[in-house]
Amino acid sequence: MRIVLVLRLIVLALLVAFIIAPQGFAPLFAPLTRFDAPPIYTQTSILSLTLSHLGIVAVATLAATVIAVGFAILVTRPFGEEFLPLSRAVANIGQTFPPVAVLALAVPVLGFGTGPTLVALFLYGLLPIFENALTALTGLSPAVREAARGSGMTGWQRLVQVELPLAFPVILAGIRLSAVISLSTATIGSTVAARTLGEVIIAGLLSGNTAFVLQGGLVVGALAVLIHDGFVAFESLVTRRTGGAARDFETSVS
Amino acid sequence: MIAIRFLSPVQQRFDKLGVVIAALGLFALYAQPFLASRANRIVPGEPLMIWQAPGAGGWPMMAALTIAFGVLLFRTAPIVRLGTASAALLGLAIAVGLGASSVLSPGDSFARISPGSGFWLMGFALALAATDGLARLRLGPVARLGVLVAVIVAVVAILASGIWDDLAAMREYQSRSAAFWRELNTHLFLAFGAVGAAIVVGVPVGIVCYSLPKVRGAVLGVLNIVQTIPSIALFGLLIAPMAWIGANIPGASALGIAGIGVAPAFVALFAYSLLPMVSNTVVGLEGVPRDASEAARGMGMTGAQRMAEILLPLAFPVILTGIRIVLVQNIGLAVIAGLIGGGGLGIFVFQGIAQTAMPLVLLGAIPAVAMAFTAAIILDAGVELSRKGIA
């Protein structure tokens, strides 16, 4: 376990160093270029592309979280019950939609640039979060629901104090899935002129410069691994805490 | 009290989802353009309302669609909802084709007529209603496959009838039909071929990981990292090694291995497919009840016999779920191959994006989406049937 932690710290250190001072890594990438092509992408700074990439993913994932969790809460209340079968079906079918298709179809509505990428990532990111939130909210044990009802909690109190805290770790796993997919999909956004790290990769593909492709891919890959691990660590922390909370709740009821 | 008693039957008569669908559908019908007409491929479109396209059926068609949305507004049996929505969808599909033909002046080969936002929104609303009806019917796997076949037959019949021939996406198809079928073939080869290779390699690797827990962490860790590499980067990174193999290993170029073309895309899709295959094999094998495995041991079966006759058959539904995940994912990812010269339907998507020619994007994207849907429905039904077979 300790080795894994050390490896992660090394990856993080290398990533930060590369983003801040990519020219320092030029000798490493030089063997991958031909005909004296530049080994490091310099048209736009890697730092600004990384920030823009992370920004797009963060905004899309945050918006997707708010809408997806809100909608999952709605369809699991008595008021929204009629929407439940359809929501399940749509969450299931929607995930078969290729992300590139979502992106390509967003362009005519929104034009080129960051807009269609943001919308495509948002739409695609909704589904894993919604599916997980739905699973978590409908999968709570009836005993917990009854206990909350029996202790005289109102619908709102049950939702905020019991259902959401217990569902939180599963919802987090959905957010993680969505964020990691978005990180990778955002690179395709550069085919429609979004400012993401995909720009570096596509510049490499167009000019036959493997060094560009590799550095763009490595930065996105490292970001994805670190964000994935960060979420996993946070999830296990939360699970431990809600696990404790759920036990407290049981003892207080009995 | 009186007010509540008065309200509740009214509330029960309306379907909440139906209200949303009817509002969206009627807005699309009366306030959004049904078609978009352009003088040539790339200029912006002129909106045409449904009553401005004589072939779309005029007021009888509008009345029929209005009635359909009206029916969906009320609480009815799921089969009624499904029937109403399907009939309206069919009418819409015919109206858009005939409407496009009617506004095109004869012999004008430059003008392009595309479905407008009104058509798409109505189609979306009706598809939601149909999906809702289907979901509430709770059909079994065989019945779902029957519905799939019916939809495919309807689409093929409309395509064969030539009703859609004057729509812009079909015009794009007519001017490159040979290329379309060639790229469709490549797309299917990439998606299915990579899945096939992943099954051949992934299942044995999964068995090894199941038997040797020490190997498992390392193998799954490496495959996990492969998954995080963005697809366009992985496709691009494989160009150089593939070119080297094609140039330096005897016989490789005869197999079609080269830096440009199908090879890097195939290897990338294979690499992405491995993790779901291996991990689902491991999870499936671990899910086999200990009793079953112990009973087989008691009967004197060898390790290999137990694996082949007990463990793998019992793990099959989970392995099939892995195949479903991978196949649907590959059909979508194979679109990216178009960006690196690997062929497939992505060629049309990226050409269309570059030329801002939406119908061309649709020509690539719609078949890819349709294939992913079809694969998901068939394999989901297969998973369910195989679970029943075991239980």
SS3 B114: strand
| pLDDT (0 to 100) of residue A243 | 61
- Residue A16 within any structural domain of the chain: no
DSSP string, B224-240: HHHHHS-HHHHHHHTHH
Per-residue pLDDT of chain B (391 residues; tens, 9 = 90+): 444 444 455 556 888 889 999 999 999 999 999 999 888 776 777 899 998 888 888 889 999 999 999 999 998 899 999 999 999 999 999 999 999 998 887 777 788 899 989 999 999 999 999 999 998 898 889 999 999 999 999 999 999 999 999 898 999 999 999 999 999 999 999 999 999 999 999 999 999 999 888 888 888 888 887 877 788 778 877 877 777 787 777 777 777 676 667 888 899 899 989 988 999 999 999 888 888 888 888 888 888 888 888 888 889 999 999 999 899 999 998 998 888 888 899 999 988 888 888 889 999 999 999 999 999 999 999 999 998 877 6
From the list B128, B136, B232, the residue facing A198 with the nearest CB is: B232
Which of B136, B220, B232 is the mutation pick for testing A, counting most A CBs within 10 A?
B232
Dump pLDDT digits (tens) for B256-268: 676 667 888 899 8
Give the residue among B1, B76, B61 at the shortest CA–CA distance from B29: B61
* Sheet of strand B112-115, all strands in order from the earlier edge strand to the far edge: B46-48, B35-38, B112-115
A116 chain-B contacts, CB cut-off 8 A: none
The nearest CA of chain B is from the CA of A215 a distance in Å of 9
Range(s) within chain B of domains with CATH label 1.10.3720.10:
177-390
Q: Which CATH number is A151's domain given?
A: 1.10.3720.10
| pLDDT (0 to 100) of residue A20 | 84
Q: How many domains does chain A have?
A: 1
Percent of chain A with pLDDT over 70: 94
Give the residue among A47, A63, A53, A50 at the shortest CA–CA distance from A178: A63
A176 chain-B contacts, CB cut-off 8 A: none
Residue A32 pLDDT exceeds 90: no
Yes or no: say if B302 and B159 are a contact pair by the CB < 8 Å rule. no
In chain A, whose CA is at the least distance from the CA of B75? A82
Dump pLDDT digits (tens) for B84-136: 999 999 999 999 999 999 888 777 778 889 998 999 999 999 999 999 999 88
Quick one: average pLDDT of A22-49?
A: 79
- Residue A244 within any structural domain of the chain: yes
In chain A, whose CA is at the least distance from the CA of B14? A82
CATH superfamily label, B177-390: MetI-like (1.10.3720.10)
Give the residue among B296, B337, B315 at the shortest CA–CA distance from B383: B315
Give every CB contact of residue A32 below 8 A, 6+ residues apart in sequence.
A39, A209, A210, A211, A214, B240
More confident residue, A20 or B63: B63
Asked if the C-beta of B124 comes within 8 angstroms of chain A's C-beta atoms, the answer is no
Which of A92, A96, A117 is the mutation pick for testing B, counting most B CBs within 10 A?
A96
- Residue A174 within any structural domain of the chain: yes
CB contact under 8 A, A184 and B231: yes
β-strand partners of B167: B113
Range of the domain at A123: 44-253
From the list B331, B353, B362, the residue facing A98 with the nearest CB is: B331
From the list A96, A183, A204, the residue facing B236 with the nearest CB is: A204
CB contact under 8 A, A198 and B239: no
Residue A254 pLDDT exceeds 70: no
Dump pLDDT digits (tens) for B266-313: 998 999 899 889 999 999 998 888 888 888 888 888 888 888 888 888
Residue A111 pLDDT exceeds 70: yes
Give every CB contact of residue A78 below 8 A, 6+ residues apart in sequence.
none
Q: What is the ipTM of this complex?
A: 0.79
